[in-house]
Amino acid sequence: MQGRCHGMEHDIGSKIKAARLEKKLTQEQVAEILGVSRQTISNWENEKSYPDIISVIKMSDCYEVSLDYLLKGEQKMKTYYDYLEESTNVVKSNANRNKIITILSYMLVWAIAMIVFWFFTSGSDAMGYSLMFLWIILPVTTFVVSIVIGKNDFWKKGKWAFTLFFGVMYMLAEYGTFKMANNIAFDKLNAPDWGMIVAGAIISAIGMLLGSLCNKKRNKQKNQDI
């Protein structure tokens, strides 16, 4: 993207520099507020690179100037708007990737739990397996993954639906191991333990709540720094 930055119109670079000087702020001070390096601020002002839209909004608040002033001018801003659209798409792509990685991480631990039970656990190991996987590893994994989802606000309000997903997966972990082994041994069909869904959902909800609180605290701190 840096190669395209040299074609940027001179509106935004000169405007954010003028606004900063008007507020009598140094590049170091602004860099600290925005959470970037001083060199990044210099590059933006000298039009060697583009500021992202979040940084533009923060500078608008910091310098007490309108977004219209920063983004609109007599010269065309199409190049910059194209950059904003492209950078926004990159952010969305990274967010989607992180969501997938988070869920796949949980599913990997869940799958390992199933494999260990059926291929590496004998009857004498059943109690140890239960304590290790069903009562420690899976609940902790559910809790940690839920914190990550809440802290990053994945899926916005829809994230709370995942508490049910984790509850169901927790129930299936127990049913797919001990209950299924019992079904096979005694040639009968046992009903799932529906309480496991509630237990898993509660563990997930607590983790997601803590993550959401961390996210709110982080956003509040960012707003105070502006």
From-to residues of CATH 1.10.260.40 in the chain: 2-76
| Interval 152-168: pLDDT, tens | 999 989 999 999 999 99
**CA distance linking residue 178 with residue 118, whole number of Å:** 10
Burial per residue of 115-140, b for 16 or more beta-carbon CB atoms within 10 angstroms, e otherwise: ebbeeebeeeeeeebbeebbeebbbe
pLDDT tops 60 at residue 1: no
Mean pLDDT computed over every residue of the chain: 83
Give the model's pLDDT for residue 73.
54
| Interval 109-137: pLDDT, tens | 999 988 988 888 776 677 777 778 888 99
Grouping H, G, I as helix, E, B as strand and the rest as coil, residue 58 is: helix
Ranges of beta strands (E only) in the chain are: none
CATH (residue range 2-76): 1.10.260.40
pTM of the model: 0.62
pLDDT tops 90 at residue 56: no
